[in-house]
Amino acid sequence: MNTFSKNCISIETPNAMLVLAKRGDIWAYAHIGSRAGKPEDYALLSASRPCGDSANGQATAETYPAFGSSRPNGRESFANRHGAIQVRHSDGDIATDWRCAAAREAAAPKGASHVEIELRDRKHKNFRATQHFLAWDDCDVFETWIDIANGEKGPVAITRMDSFCLHATGLAERFHIMSIAGNWGDEANVSESEIPRGQETTIGARSGVRDAWENNPALFLSFGDRATETTGRVLGGALCWSGTWEISAQHTYTHELRLRAGAANISGPYVLDAGKTITLPKFVFTWSDTGKGAASRALHRWARSHLMPHPGLRDILLNSWEGAYFDFDEKTLTDMMDGTKELGGEQFVVDDGWFGRGKFARDNDVVGLGDWVVNEKKLPRGMGFLAKEANKRGLKFGLWFEPEMANTESELIHGHPDWCLRVDGRNLRNGRGATQVVLDMTNPDVRNAVFDMMDKVIRETKNLAYIKWDANCDINNLGSPYLGPEKQGNLWFDYTQGVYSLFARLRAAHPGIVFQACSSGGAHADFGFLTHADEFWGSDNSCAQQRVFIQWGEGQFYPASAIAAHVTAVPNHQTRRMASLKYRFDVAMSGRLGFELHPKNMTKEEISIAKRGVEVYKRLRPVVQQGDLYRLASPYETDHAALLFVSADKRHAVAFVYGLGRRCNDGRPEPLRLAGLDPERRYLVKEIDISSEDQAAHPHVPVSGAKVGGAALAGAGLVFNLCPGDDSAVIEFTATR
Ligand code: GLA
Give the DSSP H or E segment for 710: helix 710-715
Looking only at the bridges linking them, the beta strands covering 112-121 and 98-105 are antiparallel
Average pLDDT over residues 423-437: 97
Q: How many whole angstroms from 367 Cα to the centroid of ligand 1?
A: 15
Banded model confidence at residue 75, pLDDT cuts 50, 70, 90: low
pLDDT at 209: 98
pLDDT at 50: 62
613 within 8 A of 585, measured Cβ to Cβ: yes
d(CA 631, CA 641): 8
Is any ligand 1 atom within 6 A of the Cβ of residue 727?
no
Residues of 426-452 as b/e, b for ≥16 C-beta within 10 angstroms?
Answer: eebebbebebbbbbbbbbeebbebbbe
Give me the helix-helix angle, 444-461 and 382-392, nearest 10°.
Answer: 50
Looking only at the bridges linking them, the beta strands covering 592-596 and 563-568 are parallel
Is any ligand 1 atom within 6 A of the Cβ of residue 322?
no
Q: Tell me the sheet residues that pair with 658.
A: 641, 728
Percent of the chain with pLDDT over 70: 97
Q: How far is CA 319 from CA 323, 468, 587, in A?
A: 8, 10, 17
Average pLDDT over residues 465-482: 98
**Which residue spans within 546-681 are E strands per DSSP?**
563-568, 592-596, 628-633, 640-646, 652-659
pLDDT at 81: 82
SS3 state at 329 = coil
Q: How many whole angstroms from 346 Cα to the centroid of ligand 1?
A: 21
Average pLDDT over residues 4-24: 92
Q: Counting beta carbons within 10 angstroms of the beta carbon of residue 238, is it exposed (0 to 12), middle (13 to 18) or buried (19 or more)?
A: buried
pLDDT at 129: 98
pLDDT at 74: 60
Percent of the chain with pLDDT over 90: 90
d(CA 534, CA 541): 20
Q: Does pTM top 0.95 for this prediction?
A: yes
Residues of 67-80 as b/e, b for ≥16 C-beta within 10 angstroms?
Answer: bbbebeeeeeeeeb
pLDDT at 725: 83
d(CA 568, CA 392): 25
Is any ligand 1 atom within 6 A of the Cβ of residue 321?
yes
- Give backbone dihedrals phi and psi of 126, rounded to 5 degrees, phi first: -95, 10
pLDDT at 402: 98
Residue 453 pLDDT more than 90?
yes
Give the DSSP H or E segment for 536: strand 535-537
Q: Could you write out the DSSP letters of every residue in 7-45?
A: TEEEEE-SSEEEEEEEETTEEEEEEEEE--S-HHHHHHH
- Return the closest-CA partner of residue 584 out of 466, 710, 690, 693: 690
Tens of pLDDT, residues 356-394 = 999 999 999 999 999 999 999 999 999 999 999 999 999
Q: How far is CA 569 from CA 167, 184, 280, 316, 335, in A?
A: 50, 20, 43, 17, 17
Q: How many whole angstroms from 469 Cα to the centroid of ligand 1?
A: 10
234 within 8 A of 287, measured Cβ to Cβ: yes
Residues 6 or more apart whose Cβ sits within 8 Å of residue 698: 686, 687, 689, 704, 705
Average pLDDT over residues 209-215: 97
Which ligand 1 atom is nearest residue 540's CA?
Answer: 8
Which ligand 1 atom is nearest residue 351's CA?
Answer: 10
Is any ligand 1 atom within 6 A of the Cβ of residue 352?
yes
For atom 8 of ligand 1, the residue with the nearest CA is 520
Residue 155 pLDDT more than 90?
yes
d(CA 270, CA 622): 45
Banded model confidence at residue 434, pLDDT cuts 50, 70, 90: very high
Average pLDDT over residues 230-255: 96
Mutation choice for ligand 1 from 210, 407, 516, 518, CB with most ligand atoms inside 8 A: 518
Residues 6 or more apart whose Cβ sits within 8 Å of residue 665: 724
Average pLDDT over residues 656-679: 91
Residue 80 pLDDT more than 90?
no
340 within 8 A of 324, measured Cβ to Cβ: no
Tens of pLDDT, residues 392-413 = 999 999 999 999 999 999 999 9
Q: Tell me the sheet residues that pair with 412.
A: none
Residue 695 pLDDT more than 80?
no
Which ligand 1 atom is nearest residue 521's CA?
Answer: 8
Banded model confidence at residue 52, pLDDT cuts 50, 70, 90: low
Q: Counting beta carbons within 10 angstroms of the beta carbon of residue 119, is it exposed (0 to 12), middle (13 to 18) or buried (19 or more)?
A: buried
What is the average pLDDT value for the chain, to the nearest integer? 95
Average pLDDT over residues 271-297: 98
Cα maximum dimension of the chain = 83
d(CA 212, CA 234): 22
Banded model confidence at residue 46, pLDDT cuts 50, 70, 90: confident
629 within 8 A of 645, measured Cβ to Cβ: yes
Banded model confidence at residue 59, pLDDT cuts 50, 70, 90: low
Which ligand 1 atom is nearest residue 518's CA?
Answer: 8
Is any ligand 1 atom within 6 A of the Cβ of residue 520?
yes
Q: How many whole angstroms from 352 Cα to the centroid of ligand 1?
A: 7
pLDDT at 78: 76
Tens of pLDDT, residues 476-488 = 999 999 999 999 9
Residue 72 pLDDT more than 80?
no
Banded model confidence at residue 665, pLDDT cuts 50, 70, 90: confident
For atom 6 of ligand 1, the residue with the nearest CA is 352
For atom 7 of ligand 1, the residue with the nearest CA is 520
pLDDT at 385: 98
pLDDT at 568: 98
Tens of pLDDT, residues 494-504 = 999 999 999 99
For atom 2 of ligand 1, the residue with the nearest CA is 520
pLDDT at 216: 98
Looking only at the bridges linking them, the beta strands covering 396-401 and 347-350 are parallel
pLDDT at 130: 98
Give me the helix-helix angle, 544-554 and 581-588, nearest 10°.
Answer: 10
pLDDT at 299: 98
Tens of pLDDT, residues 512-570 = 999 999 999 999 999 999 999 999 999 999 999 999 999 999 999 999 999 999 999 99
pLDDT at 11: 96
Number of H helices, E strands in the chain: 12, 38
The type of residue at 611 is K
d(CA 613, CA 619): 10
Residue 588 pLDDT more than 80?
yes
pLDDT at 48: 74
Which ligand 1 atom is nearest residue 365's CA?
Answer: 12
Q: How many whole angstroms from 520 Cα to the centroid of ligand 1?
A: 6
Q: Tell me the sheet residues that pair with 176.
A: 194, 222
- Cis peptide bond upstream of 571, omega within 30: yes
d(CA 369, CA 413): 9
**Which residue spans within 575-715 are E strands per DSSP?**
592-596, 628-633, 640-646, 652-659, 682-687, 707-709
Q: How many whole angstroms from 426 Cα to the centroid of ligand 1?
A: 29
d(CA 354, CA 332): 12
The type of residue at 701 is V
Please identify every residue annotated as catalytic. Answer: 470, 540
